[in-house]
Structure 1
Amino acid sequence: MNNYPDFIIIGAMKCATSTLHEQLAVQPGIFMSDLKEPNFFSDDDHYTKGIEWYLSHFKSAKPNDLCGESSTHYTKLPTYPETIERIAKYLPDVKLIYVMRHPIDRLKSQYIHEWSQKVISVEINQAIHQYPELIDYSRYSMQLKPYFETFGKERILPVFFERMLTHPQEELERVCRFIGYQGKAIWNSELDAQNVSSERMRKNELRDFFVEAPGFKQLRRWFIPKSFRNWVRSLWTLKKKPQLDWQQREYLKTIFDEDLAVLGSWLGIELSCDNFKATIQTSPMEWVDLSKQHQFTSYE
C-alpha cells in the first residue's frame, strides 16, 4: 500500500522551508521525502510521470509515520497555475504549511538565488521590473487566496520565518501539533542552517565539475592555498548584498502593503512592511474566523 503525504510545506521560496523540512525529518515518527522538492503538482514534466512516481518518494516510510514533503513551487502563482487543482485531486484532505518572511527580504533573497543560477543578470532595481515573479512570490495573500477557497483556512498553517528564528522550539511544536504529531518535538540546533543564499556562488559548469569531482576537494586543500581559493570563490560570488534604491523600495512597499493589509485582516492584525517584523514576533499567528471578514480581495 502506497503512503500518501499527510502534509506539505507549500512555500514560500527563500523562507527557510529547507530548515523546517530538515527539522521535521529528524523527529521520530515523521517521514520527509528524501527529494526535498518533488514539485510534482506544479511542474508539468514531473506531473506527467504519474502519481505512482510521486508516491515512490514516501515508500520508505513506516506504516504509522506522518509523511510530508516541501515544494516551494506550489506557491508560485501565476507561474504554475494548475498546482492547487492537482493537489486537491489527489490529496483533498492534506494539511498545508505556508512559511512567510518580510516580503522585501524574501524578494532580495530570491534575487540572489536567481543571480547565482544565471536566471537574472541585471541589478536588482532593474530586475524587479523585468522579472515580475520576484514581486509575485512575496504577495502572500495572493498566493493563499486560492488555497483558502479550495481547502479552507483550517487546513493551512501560517508560519513566519522571523519568528521561527527567534522561537524555533515553540514554532516546531506548533507545526507538529498542526500535523497531528503525537511525539515530543525537539528542535535540533546542530543541524546546519539551510537558508544561506547570501553566500551563493554563480553557476559555472566547468568550475562546478572540478569542485564536485571525486577526490578533487582534498587535492585542493593539499596543494592550493586557502587565500587563493577564497580569491577564486570571490570571482563567482555576488560582491555585496543587493541594494534597492529609495524609489524602488517605496514602489515595493506600496505593492506589498496592499497585500499585507489583506493578510493582516485574515490574521486579525494590522500588517505592513514597516511593522511586519515587530508584529509577527508578538505571538504565534493564527487565522481569525474568515466568515466574519469581508469577502476576499480579488486579484486581476
Structure 2
Amino acid sequence: MQPDFVIIGAMKCGTSTLATQLGQQDGIFMTDPKEPNFFSDNDQYARGREYYQELFTPALPNDIKGEASTHYTKLPTYPETVSRMIAALDQPKLIYMVRNPIARAVSHYIHEWSTGVIQSDIETALENDAELVDYGCYGRQIMPFVTAFGAENIYLTSLEEVQADPQTALAGVCRFLGHESAVKWHEEQAQMNRSAERIRKFPMHGLLFDNPVARAARRALVPQRLRDKIKQSRQMSDRPEMSEQSKVRLQGIFAKDREILAGIFPTHSALQLCYPFVDDE
C-alpha cells in the first residue's frame, strides 16, 4: 500500500495545519506520524518499504491516502529524496505549500531557537546557518520534483492563500486530490499549538515537562509564580527582526529563485502573494 498524495513542504509554511485539515475530511487518510520523513532521512528509509506501506494500512478501502514530510524539500540536506520516491511511488500527487520566504526564514529561526539547535541571534544565524535561506528557495527545491513527476502532478499553494480564505484553499487542494465530497475547514484545529514554537526546549524537555507524572509533581511542589517565571524564561518574547541589510540581501536571493518558480507556475497567485518585494512591472 502506498500514498495517493504527499505534502512535500515547505517547512514553516503551514503544512501541519493543512495535513490536519485534510485528515479531518471524510474519505481522506493521513498517516500517524504526520511526518514519516521516509524518503529523506536515512534512518527512516533503512526501516524498509514494508514499514512505510504499513503506515497506510489503517485507511479505509476508498480513502485517499496521504502523508506530509517537510524534509522532502530540504536540499541540500536530504539529497536522495526524489530518487527514492521515483523508485517506490507510482505518479503520486504532490502538494507544495510556500509563504513569503523572508517571513519563513524568521519562523525557521524561531523554530531552531526553540529547540536549542540555534543559540545565536538571527543576524548571526542568517550568516552561519544556510538552511534558513536554502529551504525558502522554493524554485530550487521543487524543480527536481517537476523533472521527476511533472508539473501537472504538483499543486502549489501558500500560507497567505490559506490565511485569506481557508475554506476555498482547502477545497482547491481537495479537488486536486480527486476528493468529490463536501469539505469543511475546522478553525478550532487551526488554532492549536500556534504559540508552541516560541517555547525553548532542551535535553530531557519531554521527560521533565510533557510527562504527566512530572507535570503533576511540578504543580504540587512548585508555586505558580515560579512556574510562570520559568516559562517566561523559555519563551521568545518578541518576534526577531532582521536588519535592513540582511533583508535586502535575502530579497535578492529569493527574487532570483522566484524566476524558477515563475517558469513552472507562471500565473500562480503565490508569485504575488509571497513576493511583495518583487516588482514585475
Give the TM-score, by structure 1 length. Answer: 0.85
For 1:261 and 1:191, locate their aligned partners in 2 and report how far apart those are by CA, in whole Å.
35
TM-aligned CA deviation for residue 230 of structure 1: 2.1
Q: Which amino acid aligns with 1:228?
A: L
- Counterpart of 1:86 (choices 84, 87, 104) is 84
In structure 1, what is the equivalent of residue 119 of structure 2? 121
Deviating more after overlay: 187-196 vs 71-80: 187-196
Among 173, 176, 184, the alignment partner of 2:174 is 176
Mapping of residues 52-63 of structure 1, within 5 Å: 52-63=50-61
Q: Which range moved further: 132-141 or 266-275?
A: 266-275
Residues 141-194 of structure 1: CA distance to partner in whole angstroms, max 9, x if unpaired? 001111111110000000100110121100111000101112111111121435
Residues 237, 77 of structure 1: CA spacing in aligned structure 2 closer, same or farther, 3 A cutoff?
same
SS for the counterpart of 1:252 is: helix
- Name the counterpart of 1:40: 38
Mapped partners of 1:101, 1:154: distance in 2: 21
Separation in 1 of the partners of 2:104 and 2:234?
22
Match of 1:282 in 2: none
Gaps of 5+ in 2: none
2:249 to 248, 251, 275: 251
Question: How far apart are residue 240 of structure 1 and its match?
Answer: 2.4
Contact 1:102 1:273 in 2 (8 A): no
Q: Which residue of 1 aligns with 2:28?
A: 30
Residue 3 of structure 2 aligns to a residue whose secondary structure is: coil
The whole-number CA distance in structure 2 between the counterparts of 1:275 and 1:34 is 32
Aligned pairs (5 A) from 1:189-208: 189-193=187-191, 196=194, 199-208=197-206
RMSD: 2.3
Q: CA, structure 1 residues 195+262, in 2 after alignment: closer, same or farther (shift >3 Å)?
A: farther
Match of 1:101 among 99, 102, 105: 99
State the 1:270 CA deviation: 9.4
Kept in 2, the 8 Å contact 1:92–1:151? The answer is: no
Query: How has the CA–CA distance of structure 1 residues 62 and 147 changed in structure 2, closer, same or farther, with 3 Å as cutoff?
Result: same
Which residue of structure 2 aligns with residue 131 of structure 1?
Answer: 129
Q: Cα distance 1:165–1:226, how it changes in 2: closer, same or farther (>3 A)?
A: farther
The reply to whether residue 140 of structure 1 matches residue 102 of structure 2 is no
Q: Distance in 2 between matches of 1:277 and 1:227?
A: 44
1:208-238 CA-to-partner distances (Å, cap 9, x unmatched) read 4221232443454456454432211111122
Please tell me the residue identity of whatever aligns with 1:211: F
Answer yes or no: is 1:228 the counterpart of 2:226. Answer: yes
| Matches of 1:265 and 1:83, distance apart in 2 | 23
Per the alignment, residue 162 of structure 1 pairs with: 160
The separation in 2 between residues aligned to 1:270 and 1:189, in whole angstroms, is 26
Q: Give, as a single letter, the amino acid of the residue that structure 1 aligns with 2:163.
A: L
Moved more, 10-19 or 180-189: 180-189
In structure 2, the residue corresponding to 1:49 is in which secondary structure?
coil
Q: How many residues align?
A: 277
Change over 3 Å in CA distance of 1:176–1:254 after alignment to 2: same
Higher mean C-alpha deviation, range 100-109 or range 120-129:
120-129
SS at match of 1:205: coil
For residue 263 of structure 1, report the CA deviation from its aligned partner.
1.7
Give the distance between the partners of 1:223 and 1:203, measured in 2 at CA.
22
